[in-house]
Amino acid sequence: MPSGKVHDAFNLALLPLAILTPKPLEPLPLAMGYIVGTMFFSPDLDLSKSRAAARWGLLRVLWLPYAKVAAHRRISHVPVLGLILRTAYLCILCMVVLIFLIACGVNIRLAFHGALPRHALSFIIGMLIADTLHIALDALSSSLKRLMPK
């Protein structure tokens, strides 16, 4: 299994290729999503001690329940589904915080303007590409290990 350092280096080396996307996507939000996906939203958040988890600083405790439930290299490492799961998990945590703040009397207004803006879509696609490359490198590493004589 590649280390977090190798994953970071691999993904960041491929960032220029990831930015070369079809025209409807915007390069800057895509690059930002790619970097966030690589550094903070990695499939390895299914480990309580990973580089991605450490980057959350004190907030890494938020990912401990996720790491406890999601066994390493299982659902978190399924392309698309793992990213959706981590996003849903974080959204649920944010909702809990919002509900708490609203219950405390904080005036919060949320607005959703219908269709997903193009830059948000580009950001998400960037995260998805980073996620997929992480999973592909894990799979490649496992395959190579199996081929190596013991």
Distance of closest approach, residue 110 Cβ to Zn ion, in angstroms:
33
Smallest CA-to-CA distance from 2 within 77, 58, 64 is with: 77
Distance of closest approach, residue 43 Cβ to Zn ion, in angstroms:
5
Distances (CA, A) of 7 to 51, 69, 107: 10, 23, 41
Residue 52 · residue 36 · CB < 8 Å: no
Distance of closest approach, residue 14 Cβ to Zn ion, in angstroms:
16
Cα–Cα distance, 107 to 137 (Å, whole number): 45
User: Binding to Zn ion by residue 44, rule CB under 5 A?
Assistant: yes
Write the binding mask 111 to 140 for Zn ion: x where contact by CB under 5 A, - elsewhere.
---------------------------x--
Smallest CA-to-CA distance from 133 within 82, 70, 83, 79 is with: 79
Decide whether 29 or 43 has the Cβ nearer to Zn ion.
43
Site residues (CB under 5 A) for Zn ion, limited to 13-42? none
Cα–Cα distance, 53 to 44 (Å, whole number): 8
Distance of closest approach, residue 96 Cβ to Zn ion, in angstroms:
27
Decide whether 37 or 43 has the Cβ nearer to Zn ion.
43
Interface residues with Zn ion (CB under 5 A)?
A: 43-44, 138
